[in-house]
Chain A
Amino acid sequence: MQMPEPSVDVLSRKARIVDRLRVGLPAGAVIDDPIELKAYECDGLSAYRCPPMCAVLPSSTEEVSAVMRICHEEGVPVVPRGSGTSLSGGALPTADSVLLGVARLSRVLDVDYANRFIRVEAGRTNLSVTGAVEQDGFFYAPDPSSQLACAIAGNIAMNSGGAHCLKYGVTTNNLLGVTMVMADGEIVEIGGAHLDAGGLDLLGLVCGSEGQLGVVTEATLRILAKPEGARPVLVGFDSAEVAGQCVSDIIKAGIVPVAIEFMDRLTIRAAEAHVAAGYPDCEALLIIEVEGSEAEIDDQLVRIIAIARQHDPVEIRESGSAAESEKIWKGRKTAFGAMGQINDYMCLDGTIPVSQLPYVLRRIGEMGEDYGLQVGNVFHAGDGNMHPLILYDANKPGDLEKTEALGADILKLCVEVGGCLTGEHGVGVEKREIMTAQYGADDLEIQMQVKDVFDPQWLLNPAKVFPLEASAGRRM
Chain B
Amino acid sequence: MKVRSEQELAEVLAGANAPVRIQGGGTRDIGGPVSGEVLEVGICGVELYEPEALTLVARAGTPLAEIEAVLAGEGQRLAFEPMDHRVLLGTKGEPTIGGVIAANVSGPRRILAGAARDFALGARFVDGSGRVIKNGGRVMKNVTGYDLVKLMAGSWGTLGVLTEVSLKVLAMPETEATLVARGKDAAEGIAALSAALGSPWDITGAAHLDPGVAGPESETRVRIEGLAASVDYRIGALQREICVGWEVFRDDDSVALWRQVRDVAPFADEPVVWRLSVKPSAAPEISEALGVVGLGHAALYDWGGGLIWIAPGPGHDDAGAQAIRAQIAAHGGHATLVKAPADLRARIDVFQPQTGAVAALSRGLKQQFDPRGILNPGLMG
Question: A-side interface residues toward B, CB under 8 Å?
Answer: 112-116, 137-138, 158-159, 161, 165-166, 169-170, 172-173, 182, 186-190, 192-205, 207-209, 225-228, 248-249, 251-256, 292-293, 295-296, 299-300, 351-355, 380, 383-385, 418-427, 431, 435, 438-440, 442-444, 446-447, 449-450, 452-454, 465
Contact = CB atoms under 8 A, between A and B. Distances in A.
13 contacts: A169-B118, A170-B141, A188-B357, A197-B334, A199-B358, A199-B380, A201-B117, A202-B358, A208-B147, A251-B54, A418-B139, A438-B144, A454-B361
B194 interface: yes
B368 A446 contact: yes
Given A202-B151, A254-B171, A431-B144, 12 more contacts: A161-B141, A190-B358, A198-B333, A200-B155, A204-B150, A209-B146, A351-B141, A419-B137, A446-B127, A447-B145, A454-B361, A465-B145
Contact of B351 (A194, A199, A380): A199
A63 to B, nearest CB: 19
A420 B55 CA distance: 15
Contacts of A256: 170-171
Given A351-B139, A446-B369, A201 B153 contact: yes
Contacts of A188: 356-358, 361
A198 B146 contact: no
Interface in B323-381: 332-336, 351-352, 354, 356-358, 361-362, 364-365, 367-369, 380-381
B26 interface: no
Interface in B112-156: 114-115, 117-118, 127, 131-135, 137-151, 153-155
Contacts of A385: 139-141
Interface residues of B, number: 86
A219 to B, nearest CB: 15
A385 B303 CA distance: 31
Contacts of B148: 205, 446-447, 450
A192 B127 CA distance: 29
A390 B354 CA distance: 49
A454 B358 CA distance: 10
B368 A195 contact: no
Interface of A is mostly: loop
A237 B303 CA distance: 43
Given A159-B143, A201-B154, A355 B52 contact: yes
A446 B367 CA distance: 12
B139 A420 contact: yes
B150 A453 contact: no
Contacts of B154: 196-197, 200-201
B54 to A, nearest CB: 6
B162 interface: no
A303 B336 CA distance: 45
